[in-house]
Amino acid sequence: MRNPWFFRLCLFATVLTLGLVVLGAYVRLSDAGLGCPDWPGCYGHWKVPAEEAHVASANAAYPERQVVAAKAWKEMAHRYVAGSLGLLVLAIAVLAWRRRRAPGQQVVLPLLLVVLIIFQSLLGMWTVTLLLKPLIVMGHLLGGLSTLALLAWITLRSGALWTRGEAPVWGAWRWIAVGALGVLAIQIALGGWTSSNYAALACPDFPTCHGEWWPAADFNEGFILWRGIGIDYEGGVLDNRGRVAIHLIHRLGALVTCAVLGSLALALIFAPPRPMLRRAGAVLLAALILQVSLGVATVMGHLPLPVAAAHNGGAALLLLSLVGVIHLLAGSLPRDVQRGH
């Protein structure tokens, strides 16, 4: 027997994670990632210092990071929401474990989610302590979206949404859908690398870059993953050619992603194995068009903060759409398979 509370908790956690992904992007894009130079508090406090004596003490302790209340509050808001999500995921895991003998209850993924949340917290700490190191920032983004995907999958399977009585539709569809998910994951990683290296405006025009289809770029410099400890990456450390290289690869990745996900969406719309998949294909196509539009608008508008943050949200919606497609392809899995997955 399914537990409605487990489903509701998972659904709420999924929505909260989606909001957290957008909030994290907003914090990063508004240059507030180091608004609090320590972790998990802010200048040694659990809230942003406001009293004159506390501000003076904070400025003395961190002379290179003077208190800027607006940035610090953005960072702390992100930490508060992330902490709430962590407690919610823990509650989901506890409930899943207590009901582990109930037919159809998912156990493995809720427990795995706790491990992921702990690692994601460490990445959040390292983001601050390692001064916005691009590899860590990119990993933090991937961890957040992985959390979102897992929560969405658990929610869909626990509610058996839109699949009651449906048999799995795998075959070639399985490899196409899983391959599309892999392509999207790589493109999201490229987007995180572009953002964390401040390369979003390395090409200020579209579809060309500095008026050329293939301008001078330094790919060796642009894709050095590890540069040591102690470097402050706020604002980026690459020269223009290194940033151009990153931006160009992100654009090429976008073309590949559009081709793969667009083909999958059209195949689902025009040759669906089930009527519900036709609707899922339409949703996937709409999310893809929205994301491409936001990407172009980000460049053409020279990185407007609301649009750039929405671009991160668009990636999350695209991921959710693809998870939904895979869920529908899986159909109503046998109870013993549901229990393990």
Q: What is the residue-wise DSSP string for 256-271?
A: HHHHHHHHHHHHHHHS
C-alpha distance from residue 99 to each of 93, 96, 115, 218, 339 (Å) = 10, 5, 19, 55, 11
**What is the torsional sign of CA 151, 41, 78, 75?**
negative
Q: Do the Cβ atoms of 188 and 145 come closer than 8 Å?
A: yes
Length of the chain counted residue by residue? 341
pLDDT value of residue 94: 96
Task: Quote the pLDDT of residue 275.
Answer: 83
Domain spans in the chain, listed from the N-terminal domain onward: 1-159, 163-341
Q: What is the pLDDT of residue 175?
A: 85
pLDDT of residue 104: 82
Between CA 100 and CA 25 the distance in angstroms is 36
Tokens of 238: 């690459």
What is the 8-class DSSP label of residue 212? B
Distance CA 177, CA 183 (A): 10
Instruction: Taking the CA atoms of 294, 295, 296 and 298 in sequence, report the sign of the dihedral they define.
Output: positive
Say how far residue 338 (Cα) sits from the centre of its chain. 25
**Residue 94: other Cβ atoms inside 10 A:** 13
Q: Are the beta carbons of 210 and 204 closer than 8 angstroms? A: yes
- Residues annotated as catalytic are 75
Give every residue of the chain whose pLDDT is below 70, as ranges: 1-2, 160-167, 170, 272-273, 332-341
Predicted local confidence at residue 167, as pLDDT = 64
H helical segments located in 160-274: 172-196, 219-222, 240-270
Q: How far is 188 from 257, CA to CA, in rounded Å?
A: 10
Question: Hey, is 32 helix, strand or coil?
Answer: coil
CB atoms within 10 A of CB 151: 30
Rounded CA-CA distance 71/328 in Å is: 42
Contact 24, 141 (CB under 8 A): yes
Q: What single letter denotes the amino acid at residue 128? A: V
CB-CB contact of 50 with 69 (8 Å): yes
pTM of the model: 0.93
C-alpha 134/C-alpha 193 separation (Å) is 6
